Structure 1
Amino acid sequence: MQRYLSLMLLLSLLTGCSVFKPQPRNTFMEEMVASPSHKLSERIIPLSEPLLGLPYVDGGLGEGSFGKFDRDPLSRFDLFDCTTFVETVLAGAMSYSPTEFERNLIKLRYQHGNVDFTTRNHFASADWIPNNQWALRDITLDIAQDRTAFAETLIDKPAWYQAMQEDRLQGLPDSIDKIDQLKTLREAGKKLPKIYVRTPYVPLTLLNQPAVLDRIPSGSVINMVRPNYDVTQWIGTHLNITHQAFAIRKQGKLFLRHASLRYKKVVDEDFIEYFSQYDETSTLKGFNVQQPIERALVAEH
């Protein structure tokens, strides 16, 4: 055993890294399998803890090695954007083995679990939330009650596809003509519908009321709402939701745990302090709240 440990230490010095440092994927999977809790909300905090500090990179996931337009991996644990972070942690909280994790992640990321660029839940308000009501419940009205506001917009998917450029095609081999493949992708987008969405949200003006914060469950998904946000000059469509995170309670205090574009990594931020940076002139007006459904846990467990 001593000889084995000495060899491992030598290898770690030669490679410039410690073999004893757990990798994010290993730590995540070990926690997922070993967690004694069968309550989804209680699994989210320890599962997401090892991912703190990992880098923010937009669009790091795709449809895997057989993808037609995006061959980035189906899952990874070394970097995240806001949505892939939420999806990864939520899928882990719903699972007790790597096989279950992969199945749940695919079901969260793709409509009906059909792995394809055109069926990926690209838009939070038009795809991700409505397609995942098997796993989530919108509790925004429970929190804001009669002060609930609504964001309305039209998600123009065909225009979004037409605005895409070659850099949207990821991981394709040089043998594939990207210009021709982009034309194919844009043609596929023309067949998709424009979707009218109406998103309930908690106005930021309510955050000075402690009772409102007290009604936000730990482990819930927080969606940042910018009503009818006009980004057509960049991506061809308006949006209602521009960011996703988890609400986390630690020692009685509420935090946002998320892959942050601002900090370029996964961080915890004080819930109130995060939203205090947005005044009444900001396009960010509030947040939508989705609570994971406990019965979404795999039946045999």
Structure 2
Amino acid sequence: MLPTNSVAKIISICSVFLIVPVHASTDSPSHAAQYEHRFFKTLDTLEENALQTSFSNELQSRRIEHLSASLLGALYEDGNLGEGLQGRYDKDPLMRFDAFDCTTYVEAVLAGAMSQSKATFEEKLKQLRYKNGQVEFIYRNHFPSLDWIPNNQDKLTDITHIVAPDAVQLAQATIDKPSWYKNMKASRLKCEDEDSLSCKQRLTQLQEEGRHFQPKNSTIAYVPLSAIYKKGEDINATSINQHILDKIPSGSIISMVRPNWEIKKWIGTNMNVSHQSIAIRKGDRLYLRHASQTHKHVIDEDFITYFSKYVDNASLKGFNVLIMKDL
């Protein structure tokens, strides 16, 4: 049974603001400003270097590598961003740089990679996070396989079938948005008084937003872990399918796939993606760079070691691979 407090750790959903947000970060304003300064200084340096070379996929990967590295150490925090003060239901800041969940971290890095300067960053972020860039809760790309990936097809390319052409599988899930909205609680709104009439009215309005949607089947391609780790052998260098791993470009977006993840009784809908991260190459090693719920900050973890923990997992079966298009 899920805990009733705000940190619902049993379901590790960092990507779509499905769990009630945790308490605000205790990072000082100056600490937050340091991450923002470092991020945009990195962007400026990359732009200066870009003027001296031709644009290529390699350059795009390098931008993602450097921008993502500038945020290493930033705190992990569920549901820390919203639509800003003008938001009807979620008035958390539209952007910040000192704390992320897994998807907002990926979004910040990609928006930076697509930007030429700080001046263009916010618009790029809106285009990634919201359908058609329309900043409203109901247009936010809440669900990776149903919203975030399909609505960003003009920016991202799914190369899962290229990484593992003979092993790729499809994960299904019915995303029930009406039920998800109906399952919303007052804590989502962060009212000063959750028992107040105004808060109850806003909650009713939020729950009724589900009328705009219908349950939809969502499909996502994934590389099964069974194609990476040879069944029945120890997890070591001789049991790893390095051929597949070598096809994953540095700077790729890695989404953890759980086919028909049965969590509807807790959040109102099932899902098929539970986490998002960035693949980073350092020499001959592949790493996952991500906002980690376990470690509570942005961290690099060895790719092989990370996924080896899930080989016998009942629900996490593999990963999807996306790359950013030349924009």
TM-score, length basis structure 2: 0.81
Aligned to 2:108: 88
Q: Which amino acid aligns with 1:93?
A: A
CA offset digits 1:184-232 (Å, max 9, x no partner): 0111112212121111100001222111000001001000000000111
Q: Report what 1:13 is aligned to.
A: none
1:165 and 2:185 correspond: yes
Identity %, equivalent residues: 48
- Is the 2:174–2:270 Cα contact (8 Å) retained in structure 1? yes
- 1:119 is matched with which residue: 99, 123, 139? 139
How far apart, CA to CA, are the structure 2 residues paired with 1:280 and 1:94? 38
1:251 aligns with 2:283: yes
> Structure 1 counterpart of 2:322, which letter?
Q
Query: What corresponds to 1:9 in structure 2?
Result: none
Q: How many pairs are equivalent?
A: 278
What amino acid is aligned across from residue 288 of structure 1 in structure 2?
N
The answer to whether 1:27 aligns with 2:35 is no
Distance in 2 (CA, whole Å) between partners of 1:46 and 1:23 is: 16
Is 1:199 aligned to residue 231 of structure 2?
A: no
Distance 1:112 1:89 in 2: 19
Residues 60 and 81 in structure 1, CA contact (< 8 A), matched pair in contact too = yes
CA contact (8 A) 2:226 2:311 kept: no
**What code does the residue aligned with 1:211 have?**
H
Tell whether the 8 Å contact from 1:72 to 1:170 is kept in structure 2 after alignment.
Answer: no
Distance 1:172 1:133, change over 3 A: farther
The code of the aligned residue for 2:220 comes to: T
TM-score of the two chains, using structure 1 as the length reference:
0.88
Residues 103 and 21 of structure 1: is their aligned pair in 2 closer, same or farther, counting only changes over 3 Å? closer
Report matched runs for 1:196-275 at 5 Å: 196-207=217-228, 208-275=240-307
Q: Which runs of 4+ in 1 moved over 3 A?
A: 19-22, 170-176
Higher helix share: 1
Deviations 1:25-76 (A, max 9, x none): 0110111122123532110111111211111100110001100000101100
Alpha-carbon distance in 1 for matches of 2:255, 2:226 = 16
Q: What is the RMSD computed on CA atoms of the aligned residues?
A: 2.0
| Structure 2 unaligned spans of 5+ | 1-27, 229-239
Q: Paired residue for 1:48, among 65, 68, 73?
A: 68
Aligned AA (1:254): L
Query: The residue matched to 1:242 in structure 2 has which SS?
Result: strand
Largest Rg, 1 or 2: 1
Helix, strand or coil at the partner of 1:118:
helix
Moved more, 168-177 or 274-283: 168-177
Q: Deviations over 1:117-137 (max 9, x none)?
A: 000000000000000111100
Over 3 Å counting, the alpha-carbon distance change for 1:28 and 1:173 in structure 2 is farther
* Stretches of structure 1 lacking an aligned partner (at least 5 in a row): 1-16, 297-301
After superposing the two structures, state which structure 1 stretch, 34-43 or 129-138, moved more. Answer: 34-43
Distance in 2 (CA, whole Å) between partners of 1:20 and 1:272 is 32
Q: Tell whether 2:162 aligns with 1:151.
A: no
Instruction: Determine whether 1:282 maps to 2:314.
Output: yes
